[in-house]
């Protein structure tokens, strides 16, 4: 059953009905507890890899939201850079040291930056949308590279943050950032799950199927696409801030087209059926990149490309199709 038929035949339930009562919050809490336990017994290198994967997964989650509406952004690096630079600027100019405030500030800044452009992007589809987002991202790259106030091509450093006002030692700081990353990732996964199964989320899928028919049914295509783009910007800003806090540095390369390509890689690898698949795909990307860089330093991009080709050949709808059913099917 297509999403258009679902909108016509199925009355829209409240958000509690769409997440099967209180099951989703309990699953989220259990997942977060398991991740916290895993971080406590895992080596620091693995925790760092999972922290970075959470940030990249959040940014890619925004692309998945756009893909559900029938568009693909090749400029998600701009939202990624906006969140990262906002966190660095808040730390340098305003003296904000709390990691949670920096992450929230990064997400908010990315949404504010994307807001005036979302009204333009909501009117385009297909290659025009992809090319326009790519152009905006590269314009941002040029501006960041030439801006002395933002460090120019060298970027900005971010000092070690605190968490909830508490200064942490080296080992404790790394674990605290890991916990914060997992908490933000799980929280946004829950929000994405609710959003995707809400009326707006299903309408976005209807836009992908047949937006002309949706307009005849009285749906607002423009409003849905704007909302989709702002959600993608929020995900990108949160992920960018998390990555910058973990790295301790931000640079214009965050907005470069190759960085956006990595996020598209994760989104295609995950597919649009499952939210957890996005974060699993981000972990797979980091693992493959780490091991390929260690053992095949000159051809690690070839390994990534070959892996993606295999997934596309045997799992054309992403790794999430292994366990998630098609929307609208029993």
pLDDT at residue 324 above 90?
no
Flag whether pLDDT at 326 surpasses 80.
no
The string of pLDDT tens digits covering residues 24-43 is 888 899 999 999 999 989 89
Distance between CA atoms of residues 161 and 105, nearest Å? 14
Q: Tens digits of per-residue pLDDT, 4-17?
A: 554 444 444 443 44
- Spatial CA neighbour of 134 closest among 266, 228, 263: 263
Tell me whether residue 248 is in a domain: yes
**Backbone angle region of 151, left / alpha / beta, with phi > 0 → left and psi within -120 to 50 → alpha:** left
Q: What is the mean pLDDT of residues 177-206?
A: 91
Rounded Cα distance between 142 and 152, Å, is 9
Q: Supply the pTM of this predicted model.
A: 0.88
Q: What is the pLDDT of residue 279?
A: 95
pLDDT of the residue at 5: 52
- 65 domain-assigned: yes
pLDDT digits (tens, 9 = 90+) for 77-130: 999 999 999 999 999 888 888 999 999 999 999 999 999 999 999 999 889 999
- Is residue 320 in some structural domain? no
322 inside domain: no
Give how far Cα 112 sits from Cα of 44, 64, 106, 194, 231, Å: 35, 20, 10, 23, 11
pLDDT at 325: 60
Q: Which residue is associated with the tokens 């890991």?
A: 178
Residue 117 lies in a domain: yes
For residues 37 and 209, the model is more confident at 37
pLDDT of residue 15: 39
The reported pLDDT for the residue numbered 3 is 53
Q: What is the mean pLDDT of residues 60-87?
A: 94
DSSP 58-126: HHHHHHHHHHHTT---S-HHHHHHHHHHHHHHHHHHS---BHHHHHHHHHHHHHHHHHHHHHHHTT--H
SS3 309: helix
> Contact, 79 vs 254, CB < 8 A?
no
Confidence of residue 216 (pLDDT cuts 50, 70, 90): confident
Average pLDDT, the chain: 86
> Does residue 313 form part of some domain?
no
DSSP 29-68: HHHHHHHHHHHHHS-HHHHHHHHHHHHHHHHHHHHHHHHH
Number of structural domains found in the chain:
1
Structure tokens at 91: 């730390």
Question: For every residue of 133-163, which 3-state class applies, written as one string?
Answer: HHHHHHHHHHHHHHCHHHCHHHCEECCCCEE
- The 3-state DSSP class for residue 314 equals helix
Contact 242, 51 (CB under 8 A): yes
54 is in which domain, residue-wise?
Answer: 3-8+27-256
Query: Dihedral sign, CA of 226, 229, 231, 233?
Result: negative
């Amino acid at each position: 059953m297509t999403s258009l038929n679902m909108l016509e035949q199925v009355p829209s339930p409240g958000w509690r009905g769409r997440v099967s009562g209180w099951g989703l919050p309990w699953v989220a809490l259990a997942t977060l507890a398991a991740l916290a336990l895993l971080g406590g017994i895992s080596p620091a290198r693995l925790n760092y890899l999972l922290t970075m994967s959470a940030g990249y997964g959040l940014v890619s989650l925004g692309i998945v939201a756009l893909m559900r509406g029938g568009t693909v952004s090749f400029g998600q690096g701009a939202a990624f850079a906006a969140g990262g630079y906002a966190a660095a600027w808040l730390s340098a100019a305003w003296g904000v040291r709390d990691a949670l405030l920096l992450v929230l500030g990064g997400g908010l800044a990315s949404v504010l930056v994307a807001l005036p452009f979302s009204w333009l992007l909501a009117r385009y589809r297909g290659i025009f949308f992809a090319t326009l987002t790519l152009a905006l991202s590269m314009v941002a790259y040029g501006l960041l590279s030439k801006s002395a106030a933002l460090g120019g091509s060298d970027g900005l450093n971010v000092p070690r943050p605190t968490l909830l006002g508490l200064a942490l030692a080296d080992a404790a700081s790394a674990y605290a950032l890991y916990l914060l990353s997992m908490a933000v990732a799980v929280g946004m996964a829950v929000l994405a799950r609710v959003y995707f199964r809400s009326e707006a989320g299903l309408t976005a899928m209807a836009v992908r199927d047949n937006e002309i028919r949706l307009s005849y049914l009285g749906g607002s295509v423009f409003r849905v696409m704007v909302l989709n783009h702002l959600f993608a910007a929020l995900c990108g800003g949160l992920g960018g801030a998390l990555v910058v806090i973990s790295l301790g540095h931000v640079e214009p390369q965050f907005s470069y087209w190759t960085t956006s390509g990595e996020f598209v890689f994760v989104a295609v690898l995950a597919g649009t059926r499952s939210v957890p698949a996005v974060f699993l795909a981000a972990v797979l990307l980091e693992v493959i990149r780490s091991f390929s860089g260690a053992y095949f330093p000159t051809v690690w991009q070839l390994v990534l490309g070959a892996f993606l080709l295999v997934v596309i050949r045997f799992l054309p709808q992403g790794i999430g199709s292994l366990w998630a059913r098609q929307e609208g099917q029993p």
